[in-house]
Amino acid sequence: MLDSKITNETFHKNGNLSYKEILGIIKTGYEHLYPNRITNKETNVSVIRLGSVKYHDNNQLNWILKYDEKGNVIKDRFQKEYRKDGSVIQY
């Protein structure tokens, strides 16, 4: 059971968004339900990833990772990955 959500963002030197991650804070006592949790040893707070997005410095989308309610990556590791010019990377 999640208590709340937080968003972490980092930016390129030019001020454009570089990385955005959404984390879910797990309520105390429910940690065992989330095998993919990340626990801060100093605060003993556990979180799971709910979504991650990476952008190039020109605001072009690079990749997206989506997670289910248990913190597992949904489908492929990268659903689509893009070059800086916007073209799709084929694997």
Q: What is the pTM of this model?
A: 0.77
Long-range contacts of 25-29 (CB under 8 A, 24+ apart): 26/1, 26/2, 27/1, 27/2, 27/3
For the chain, which residues make up each domain, given as ranges? 2-66
Q: Looking at residue 64, what is its pLDDT?
A: 87
Q: Looking at residue 78, what is its pLDDT?
A: 56
Q: Position of tokens 């800086």?
A: 84
Q: Position of tokens 């989330």?
A: 34
Q: What is the mean pLDDT of residues 30-40?
A: 92
Q: What is the mean pLDDT of residues 34-46?
A: 92
